[in-house]
A = this chain, B = another copy of it.
Amino acid sequence: MDGRRSAARRGADGRAGRDGQAVPSATVGRLPGYLRALEATAAAGAVLTSSDELAERAGVTPAQLRKDLSYLGSYGRRGVGYDVAHLREQVTVALGLADVRRVLLVGVGNLGHALANYAGIAERGFVLVGLVDADPAVVGTTVAGLVVEPADDLAAVVARTGATIAVLTTPAAVAQQVCDALVAAGVVGVLTFAPCALRVPPHVDVRAVDVASELQILAFHDRARSAGGGAS
């Protein structure tokens, strides 16, 4: 309101919070956790909460939580705390979950099948609008209430459904070409489970989940523990 920060420092990528400041990507990565913490707090019947309580639930420090929330705006009251419903609404808006996002899943194998049936997706602001697979044996079957469509129709499915986000659970060997097709069709966010790096244009966002890599990172620490063990 006071306009002192009106010379907006906007990030190169245009990810702007209140007042036009960019929200740091590390902060963006923690917002879903804060939203979960707020939902749990609301479910417990609380109307007010504090940075201490939310931080405890989210597994961060109170200082970090307050700093992160400050990039979105000033939604608490000093000496009082945060209104649970109001803050929840603000974080929801900040994350772009005020509108439902349409998600397309490509690759209906073991993992794709499990993800298509994962209730958490629908419960948290998304709607699965399409399933695509290259295997003729899978095409035409119904999974999670949707009929699997052929990979050749990928562009048409994106156009028809208006999907902006895709989940990629294909073999690594075809991940890049499927990703290219998704991007060409207009998808701007890709969540990939394929164990390979994906190249995308700057306007597209990729998040990669690789189960084996996560295990390897755990193995690193396990090794360090065994090898270093004992003295200190």
A228 within 8 A of B: yes
For residue A195, which residues in chain B have a CB less than 8 angstroms away from its CB?
36, 120
Count of chain copies: 2
Q: How would residues 214 to 232 of chain A score, 1 for a CB under 8 Å from any chain B CB and 0 otherwise?
A: 1111111111111110001
Interface size on A, residues (CB 8 A): 73
Docked Cα-Cα span, A31 to B218, in Å, equals 12
Q: State which of A75-83, A121-129, A146-154, A177-185 sits at the interface with chain B.
A: A121-129
Please tell me if the beta carbons of A224 and B14 are within 8 angstroms of each other in the complex: yes
Please tell me if the beta carbons of A213 and B15 are within 8 angstroms of each other in the complex: no
Docked Cα-Cα span, A196 to B215, in Å, equals 19
List A residues 187-229 near B (Cβ within 8 Å). 188-191, 195-199, 203, 205, 207, 209-228
For residue A232, which residue of chain B has the nearest CB? Answer: B14
Please tell me if the beta carbons of A120 and B225 are within 8 angstroms of each other in the complex: no
Please tell me if the beta carbons of B14 and A228 are within 8 angstroms of each other in the complex: yes
| Residues of A that sit less than 8 Å from B by CB | 13-16, 23, 28-29, 31-33, 35-37, 40, 57-59, 94-97, 99, 101, 103, 110-111, 113-115, 117-118, 120-121, 123-126, 164-165, 167, 188-191, 195-199, 203, 205, 207, 209-228, 232
Given contacts A123-B212, A126-B215, could you give 16 more A-B pairs where the C-beta distance is less than 8 Å? A13-B221, A14-B232, A28-B217, A59-B199, A94-B220, A95-B220, A96-B226, A118-B211, A165-B218, A189-B218, A189-B221, A190-B218, A205-B218, A205-B221, A205-B222, A209-B209
